[in-house]
Amino acid sequence: MTIQKYEDWMRPQVVALFDLEYATGAAQFDTLFGQFYEQEFQRTNCIRIVALDGERVAGFQSFFYWPVVIGGKEVQSYQSGNSLVHPDYRGKGLFGKMLNYIHEPESGFNAELLIGFPVEASYNSFMRNGWKNPFNLQWYIKPLNPVRSFFSNPEKQLQKAWGDRKKSDFKADLSTVYVAQRTDFDTYRFAYETGDFYRFTFESDGKKAYFELKAQRRKRIIRELVIGKFLVTHADQDFMQRALNALIREVKRSANFTLLSFAVNHHSTDLVSIISSVGMRPIEKRIYFIVKGPLADAQKDWSSWWMYRSDIDTW
């Protein structure tokens, strides 16, 4: 078995591997694969890794460029994702070997920080590979207009009221660690993301807040609005609470969603306090967050890490 970098001739097999596992549709996933990895923003930065049995692709793993800001500076950071081993080859340690490949000299890969949001099935494999799980994203929800949502189209209502999602730059408070908000990053992500997205900003006394949201349906009838990102120029609790209240007020005024949801770092006590103060309550649902690398090893306090649902490649 050989672990090596991905080559273009392997693409049909990688596409077939994901179609086999997730029934994505070969043509649909092939398009997504190109949009995700072949755009200029990503193509020269990411590393794609395969496990080969002769000329048969037995596994795939990638680390894609995902700029994180620490202390106001972007670091050399990558997110782990699209990890999959063919059913015929599971239980042979291939996933761990693909994760280890980036530490081999021939990989030519160098990163200050690796991040990930693994599913339950792969979490233990990452832990055995030396990754850390410093915190999880805890989900909170708040009912909005559960009855009216059954008889309306809140997705179109909000789009009509707020307009299309626009690309933007945003520099957050220096005390926070967050995924960079840049127009070139937006250009890359807008090309492959699908769904109903919205952006909302709030400004008061020279302070600014930025929100990204996405609509989704659960069980066909629950019209959920997810807060995927919340950044502020000043991490002032009073301002953040006013910003979140302003968002909720404008959402309720503009559209009839069943509920509002928000996943935040459960160690970020300021964020937890603020979302609790506006009536959001925790539920039994979480997202794993994992890290690896020199910057992760040096970190002692994780409460300033503002990671969100929109920071995951599948947003």
Question: 26-37 and 183-192 are packed helices; what angle lies between their axes, rounded to 10 degrees?
Answer: 170
pLDDT tens for 24-60 read: 999 999 999 999 999 999 999 999 999 999 999 999 9
220 — pLDDT class (breaks 50, 70, 90) = confident
Helix (H, G, I), strand (E, B) or coil at 124: helix
Contact between 247 and 229 (Cβ < 8 Å): no
Pairing label, strands 73-75, 68-70: antiparallel
Query: Tokens 């040096």 map to which residue?
Result: 298
Contact between 261 and 227 (Cβ < 8 Å): yes
3-state SS of the chain: helix, strand, coil percent to 5?
35, 35, 30
> What domains does the chain contain, in order, with CATH numbers?
2-111 (3.40.630.30), 137-311 (3.40.630)
Question: Average pLDDT, stretch 145-168?
Answer: 94
E strand or H helix at 162:
helix 154-162
Q: In this predicted structure, what is the pLDDT of residue 59? A: 98
